[in-house]
Amino acid sequence: MNTKEYIQNLRSELREHNYNYYVLDNATISDYDFDIKLKELQELEEKHPEFHDANSPSLRVGGTVTKNFNTVVHAHRMYSLDNSYSLEDLQDWETRIKKMVDGEIQYTCELKYDGASISLTYENGSLQRAVTRGDGMQGDEVTANIKTIKSVPLQLKGDYPPIFDIRGEIVLPFEGFNKMNEERIDIGEEPYRNPRNTASGSLKLQDSAEVAKRPLECLLYNITGENLGIATQMESLEKARQMGFKVPDAAKLANSINEVLEFINYWDKERHNLPYETDGVVVKVNDLQQQEELGYTAKAPRWAMAYKFKAERVSTRLNSISYQVGRTGAITPVANLEPVELAGTTVKRASLHNSDQIEKLDIRVGDEVFVEKGGEIIPKIIAVDFTKRPENSQPTLYITHCPECNTLLERDAGEAKHFCPNYNGCTPQIVGRIQHYISRKAMDIEGLGGETVALLVQAGLITNYSDLYTLTKEQLMPLERMAEKSAENLINGVEASKQIAFERVLFALGIRYVGETVAKKLAKHYKSIDAIEKATQEELVNVDEIGIKIAESVVAFFTSEENRNTIDKLRNFGVQLEVSAEKLASQTNLLENKIFVVSGVFQVVSRTELKKLIEDNGGKVSSSISAKTSYIVAGDKMGPSKKEKAEKLGVALITEQEFLQMLG
């Protein structure tokens, strides 16, 4: 075999593995072996630029930076859909279309995925272009970003038309969305509001490597083009599957509107078990000939109808707006509502997000407002019922000063939120930072909770987390609800935190953008707080996965004299500000590139110790079993469902003993 053939073989092998894993959810190779092959391909491609292929699986990791997205005119317009909300709406639609076509009508029922629509153009089986819907006539070309989504085939399988467009929806499944938000909260950022906006925002990121990190998926539903050799929508879905696209299998054929309704009723409940958001059902005339006869209105096909699931909605009164200050100083306006029942819970408050949102809704105290609970967990205010607005109503004036410390608020260019710049003097910021310091993932101080922190700050006993180490029983006892025992517990808990490892201390400091993972990386690289303090921005950026935002924030943290004083105090109290000698000695690379899942109860070491051993020796710990898992360390009482999944994916189960032997 010559080099060219070898490279091509490697590409098609990797392509097949991507397909098995991301489209079929059924991997046949370990992540480790996949990475080795991928690396081999990358090296060969580097050596042989003459065999370049714009659709090579090696390009999935991204790296292209697009400053301005090209505008591209769609070869076939991307229409929107007409909406229906009831059986009557659907029956009216059927009556209308029955007058326009001959013969019986069959319908396909599909879920309406709630994400960002995309049009993919394939020529001779290879992805040429990916374009957003835009205004329907023309959209932005986002090919580099779309290529990083592993369920989008770069090269098709089997028989395919020489040229066609295929339409689908880019969605962000809940699991990945929640994980992204956990990380954002850890680094003091506002969580993203919903998966849909996050998915569509992802498509417009300039750095495709950033997009590659997001677990986006592409679900396809429509092939457009000439001479496709298909007669129905159902066939079109099947054809797309055969070419290697991800097409959810919920789609069903219905012979009447009543059968359509059965599908709707079933999925209205069942959709809550799907891994991604859906907001309705799309009903389409199945026969493509009939579709053509029906044609389009100015904005939507006549042969399709979206049925929107009802978000539960109620109306209630806005009693007042209050403003919360977060640990980073960000201001969040909150609507205080007349309590009302909605989807099984009593709703009293809803976030108003920022001043733009207030302006957009034109919401005023005293207004009657509509509150909805859709796919999202937090209820939201949809609109004001202007018909009920009181006569004397006054426009809402956004606050100009911090509600807690009266400092003039600031708002950075490009930021939606106002913030209070009084970092060291604003109570909720002080309390928030100390609460973060003591939290479970950080210093995990037993005997001290968030409310007590607030009490301690109010009583003037602490203004900073380093003050925790000065607290005495005599100071604590007079506090409300503080008995001798609880005071002792608190002091012991604080004392015990001096043993917490440096990487967690670093996370606990609450440096903006330094979450758990980044703290681990920095600790591993620099080994001490002094080394991090000395590092320049350029040096920091050169550390694997440390971006410019993080680097700037780290440098800014140490520029503050107040912060440096705090660190000095922590040092004097004996808090771990460097990786312990013991740990340095115990670290190896024995488990490098291996991903472990730990499950069950163990005899020799505790679960936490086990996880630490894995990480100290260069391995990674993951919480869920996937094809990427290298080993499951199985203790007693491991759940049967986990066992089953491991068997299905062919992941090796090892005992605690076997694991310890791996480390010698």
Distance CA 78, CA 117 (A): 9
Q: Which two tokens stand for residue 315?
A: 């109306």
Q: In what order do the strands lie in the sheet with 652-654?
A: 620-622, 595-599, 631-634, 652-654
409 counts as binding Zn ion under rule CB under 5 A = no
534 to each of 414, 517, 539, how far by Cα in Å?
A: 31, 21, 10
Q: Which two tokens stand for residue 466?
A: 């380093």
Active-site pick, 99, 112, 308, 569 = 112
In the list ligand AMP, Zn ion, none, the entry touching 94 (Cβ below 5 to 8 angstroms by class) is: none
In the list ligand AMP, Zn ion, none, the entry touching 402 (Cβ below 5 to 8 angstroms by class) is: Zn ion
Q: Three-class SS string for 520-583?
A: HHHHHHHCEHHHHHHCCHHHHHCCCCCCHHHHHHHHHHHHCHHHHHHHHHHHHHCCCCECCHHH
Residue of the chain from 405, 461, 531, 663 that contacts Zn ion (CB under 5 A) = 405
474 to each of 461, 479, 486, 569, how far by Cα in Å?
A: 11, 10, 12, 22
402 counts as binding Zn ion under rule CB under 5 A = yes
**Minimum distance from CB of 660 to Zn ion (Å)?**
52
- Residues that bind ligand AMP in the complex, under the rule CB under 6 A: 80-81, 110, 112-113, 117, 133, 169, 221, 282, 306
In the list Zn ion, ligand AMP, none, the entry touching 507 (Cβ below 5 to 8 angstroms by class) is: none
170 counts as binding Zn ion under rule CB under 5 A = no
Closest CB to ligand AMP among residues 120, 306: 306
- 415-454: contacts with Zn ion (CB under 5 A): 420, 422, 426
307 to each of 72, 86, 133, 290, 374, how far by Cα in Å?
A: 30, 8, 20, 20, 15
Q: Are the C-beta atoms of residues 621 and 615 closer than 8 Å to each other?
A: yes
**Minimum distance from CB of 279 to ligand AMP (Å)?**
8
Closest CB to ligand AMP among residues 165, 169: 169
Distance CA 26, CA 333 (A): 45
Answer yes or no: 99 catalytic.
no
Determine the interface stretch with Zn ion among 351-359, 369-377, 402-410, 610-618 (rule: CB under 5 A).
402-410
**Minimum distance from CB of 246 to ligand AMP (Å)?**
12
Distance CA 141, CA 134 (A): 10
Distance CA 309, CA 419 (A): 37
In the list ligand AMP, Zn ion, none, the entry touching 113 (Cβ below 5 to 8 angstroms by class) is: ligand AMP
**Minimum distance from CB of 652 to ligand AMP (Å)?**
39
Q: Which two tokens stand for residue 425?
A: 């003097």
Distance CA 610, CA 604 (A): 9
What Rg do the C-alpha atoms of the chain give, in angstroms? Answer: 29
In the list Zn ion, ligand AMP, none, the entry touching 476 (Cβ below 5 to 8 angstroms by class) is: none
Distance CA 318, CA 321 (A): 8
Determine the interface stretch with Zn ion among 177-185, 412-420, 544-552, 621-629 (rule: CB under 5 A).
412-420
In the list Zn ion, ligand AMP, none, the entry touching 117 (Cβ below 5 to 8 angstroms by class) is: ligand AMP
**Minimum distance from CB of 484 to Zn ion (Å)?**
35
404 counts as binding Zn ion under rule CB under 5 A = yes
Closest CB to ligand AMP among residues 116, 476: 116
Closest CB to Zn ion among residues 402, 491: 402
List, by residue number, the catalytic residues. Answer: 112
